[in-house]
Copies of this chain bind each other. A is one copy, B any other.
């Protein structure tokens, strides 16, 4: 692995999850590995968990961390080839990526989908631009179409909490007042495809994710049926993919409730809208894994950085 851009860059999911769980028990055991190595975290969008957990992961590995809000602290970037830059953009991704590569050993980037233009979002110009022009490894801290650090944290959480060798895991769409990207759902689906599990996706008709990603997955539009005998229910809103970025459905019949959840464990990547995505009783109950998921963000980042650092040597 050079870059960690998507779940598909994980060389062996079970092995990485196993190593991450070992890191969690003794997080400073590789503190020398990152000595004299610097990671730069570039944020084009807001962040709480990713910002703090990735810093923490780097600290556990003894790395130096530089954090930058590229959007308002740096320069507006140009991504087009051959553009005459006489408008609003001040610096080309070609220079920006090469320059950042001079100052650190790994660069991690967050750049959300704009949800205005599907083709543009799917071209992943920010993270792919960095991956193309940087001379150092690039880590995805949530891009337009994927959030692979979250999916890896989710895999760790599933492993730690599963009782069956082959649990039933349901990804259940939830209503939300605002248009949200597909990144978390996409990476969760991609990760589940690498798992030995019974995996079902449930959402209202017309709320299909990118079919290239869900290919081969069971999709069940009847939420109750999908949830039957579930061991884990991962709840997440995403905006419409066909009518790209639109909010066509806010049906609170899809809100996750204690009753619907049954005996399953509840998962969500956070931040979560209470009583819209999921009712209070679920989050405040003891079947919720959301805080544990957020803790595992440290160890998904740490295993990724560890793998990259070992490669750098």
Q: Interface on A for B, CB 8 Å cutoff?
A: 28, 36, 38, 40, 43, 46-49, 51-53, 55-56, 59, 64, 66, 68-70, 72-75, 78, 82-87, 90-92, 94-96, 98-100, 102-104, 177, 250, 270-276, 280, 283-284, 290-291, 294-295, 298
- A and B contact pairs by CB, cutoff 8 A, 27 listed: A28-B36, A38-B59, A40-B52, A46-B72, A46-B75, A47-B73, A48-B68, A48-B75, A48-B99, A51-B66, A69-B73, A78-B274, A82-B280, A83-B274, A83-B275, A84-B274, A84-B276, A85-B273, A85-B274, A87-B177, A90-B271, A91-B271, A91-B272, A92-B274, A92-B283, A95-B294, A96-B271
Q: Tell me the complex Cα distance, A72–B51, Å.
A: 13
Kindly list chain B residues whose C-beta atoms are within 8 Å of the C-beta of A104: 52, 56
Chain multiplicity (copies): 3
Kindly list chain B residues whose C-beta atoms are within 8 Å of the C-beta of A250: 86
| B40 pairs with A90, CB closer than 8 A | no
| B283 pairs with A95, CB closer than 8 A | yes
Question: Known: A48-B75, A95-B271, A274-B83. Contact between A103 and B298, CB under 8 A?
Answer: yes
Q: Tell me the complex Cα distance, A291–B136, Å.
A: 14
Q: Tell me the complex Cα distance, A177–B309, Å.
A: 42
Q: Tell me the complex Cα distance, A280–B80, Å.
A: 12
The 5 A-B pairs at the shortest CB distance, nearest first, are namely A91-B271, A85-B273, A102-B295, A52-B103, A84-B275
Nearest CB of B to A178, in Å: 8
